[in-house]
């Protein structure tokens, strides 16, 4: 289940990054540049990394995700089970998880902390509950489970980074919720459906019974009945298919999302979808048809 969680977290963070930052620059960091308070930086395999494109800290009843994205596309994400000061140990059996990937070069190549000899630690040193700022440090060695290559991340700091509290209560499963589709001609029925509103976006995901694959959708919470073009790059209406923990396929101007009803008072939404899930770089697209969801959020 942890490998599925790592993949799902990457998708959730990727959703937020695209909606907040539509284009990524390939500018390089200037050696010796003073890193100001409120920034987020580390050394990755001996090279300075700075989250100069986006910093995102989301707090919910399931814990906290701390994520940074550089203009070169390198993303570091840490998922901790609680939001309080202290040291969090990372290893193959721990609840805390750390993830690294590059969204510009190869989004399907993911290095994680919850496998083999990978591990490290994250420390939350200060939480300013008045200004909503969090500070801490991190260091870890991550492993790509597909080839056992390593990624060394040291001297990590997040200093006075703003955090957002999810007042909706986080991702809330419901036994009466449904998300199903035909994936490459094979029926996909979700064993668990989760939904949350984060940073102004409604996320809906269906997870397979073995916890390996999932289908996720993103849309505005106040979306009205109608048909919408699905394109991941817009950050508005999109679909993602995650066949395993290391592969992410996205809707790219090739699908439609139809909302049948959305009751924003009772918070129940029903709709259908169809899209071709395609890799950002290279890989084999998968056609998803006959998609249907009925979910409380």
Question: Which of 2-16, 127-141, 225-239 has the least mean pLDDT?
Answer: 2-16
Residues 198-227, mean pLDDT to the nearest whole number: 89
Q: What is the DSSP letter of 17?
A: H
What was the pLDDT predicted at 12? 45
DSSP H or E segment with residue 19: helix 2-20
Mean pLDDT of the chain: 81
Residue predicted with more confidence, 280 or 71: 71
Burial 190-213 (b: 16+ CB within 10 A, else e): bebbbbbbbeebbbbbbbbeebeb
Using one digit for the tens of pLDDT, what is the confidence trace for 107-116? 667 898 988 8
**Burial environment of residue 92 by CB neighbours within 10 A (0 to 12, 13 to 18, 19 or more):** middle
pLDDT digits (tens, 9 = 90+) for 157-192: 999 999 887 655 444 445 478 999 999 999 999 988
Average pLDDT over residues 199-205: 87
Q: Are 55 and 161 in contact (CB under 8 A)?
A: yes
CA atoms within 13 A on the CB side of 284: 4
pTM score, whole prediction: 0.54
| Burial of 229: CB neighbours in 10 Å, binned 0-12, 13-18, 19+ | middle
14 versus 101: the higher-pLDDT residue is 101
Residue 16 vs residue 242, higher pLDDT = 242
Range in 25-34, 86-95, 202-211, 251-260 the model is least confident about: 25-34
| 164 and 57 Cβ atoms separated by less than 8 Å | yes
Neighbours of 60 (CB within 10 A): 19
Q: What percent of the chain has pLDDT over 90?
A: 36
Task: Tell me the Cα Rg of the chain.
Answer: 19
Q: Which residues pair with 189 in a beta bridge?
A: 180
For residue 240, give the nearest of 251, 228, 231 by alpha carbon: 251
């Amino acid at each position: 289940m942890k490998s599925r969680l790592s993949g799902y977290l990457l998708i959730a963070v990727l959703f937020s990054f695209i909606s907040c930052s539509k284009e990524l620059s390939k500018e390089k960091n200037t050696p010796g540049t003073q890193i100001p308070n409120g920034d987020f930086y580390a050394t990755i395999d001996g090279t300075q990394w700075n989250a100069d494109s986006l910093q995102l800290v989301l707090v919910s009843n399931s814990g906290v995700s701390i994520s940074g994205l550089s203009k070169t596309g390198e993303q570091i994400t840490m998922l901790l089970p609680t939001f309080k000061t202290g040291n969090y140990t990372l290893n193959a059996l721990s609840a805390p998880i750390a993830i690294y990937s590059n969204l510009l070069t190869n989004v399907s190549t993911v290095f994680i902390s919850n496998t083999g000899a990978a591990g490290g630690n994250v420390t939350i040193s200060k939480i300013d509950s008045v200004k909503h700022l969090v500070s801490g440090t991190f260091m870890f060695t991550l492993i790509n489970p597909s080839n056992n290559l390593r990624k060394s991340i040291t001297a990590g700091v997040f200093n006075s980074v703003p955090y957002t509290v999810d007042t909706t209560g986080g991702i809330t499963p419901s036994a009466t919720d449904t998300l199903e589709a035909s994936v490459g001609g094979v029926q996909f029925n979700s064993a668990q459906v989760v939904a949350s509103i984060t940073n102004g976006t409604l996320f809906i995901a269906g997870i397979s019974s073995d916890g390996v694959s999932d289908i996720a959708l993103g849309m505005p919470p106040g979306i009205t009945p109608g048909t919408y073009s699905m394109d991941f790059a817009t950050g508005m209406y999109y679909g993602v298919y995650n066949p395993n923990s290391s592969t992410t396929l996205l809707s790219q101007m090739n699908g439609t999302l139809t909302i049948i009803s959305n009751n924003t008072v009772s918070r129940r939404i029903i709709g259908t979808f169809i899209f071709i899930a395609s890799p950002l770089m290279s890989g084999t697209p998968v056609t998803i048809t006959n998609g249907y969801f009925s979910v409380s959020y």
